[in-house]
Amino acid sequence: MILEMSIPALLFPAISLTMLAYNARYLAIAALIRKLHKEYLSSNSKSIGIQINQLRKRLYLIRNMQATAILSFLGSVITMSFLYKEMTNWANFAFGLSLIALVISLTISLIEVQLSTKALSVQLNSLEENNTN
């Protein structure tokens, strides 16, 4: 396959949209952590402390998702620079690294979504238990 300038350029919108989604997740979790922190300071609830620890794990994953997405974006830019300078071997290598970084980012995102879903499921179970009592 011949790598052309348009191929890495196609990743620009995909990575940009991915970064927007990651940033939205980060902002939502940050707001939730601030809210839970206030509740924890006033009530010293053990369950809130556990939730905060779970959110810390998710923040760590989101940070890594964002970092690898940024590396993927940089890889695309570097690929285009190499293509501009007609350094096709280096361009192929940089593009490969860019794709690997994007796959890693999406895999971490999948793990974070699984954690998020598990946390919501625990809360729904708690609500159901309270409704039956």
The band of 129, judged by pLDDT with boundaries at 50, 70 and 90, is: confident
In-domain check, residue 84 = yes
Tell me how many domains the chain contains. 1
Contacts of 89 (CB under 8 A, 6+ apart): none
In-domain check, residue 35 = yes
Task: Encode pLDDT of 36-49 as tens digits.
Answer: 888 888 887 777 77
In-domain check, residue 132 = no
Average pLDDT on 2-25 reads 85
Domain span at 58: 8-125
In-domain check, residue 101 = yes
The pLDDT, as a whole number, for residue 133 is 62
Higher pLDDT, 36 or 108: 108
In-domain check, residue 130 = no
Ranges 16-20, 33-37, 65-69, most confident = 65-69
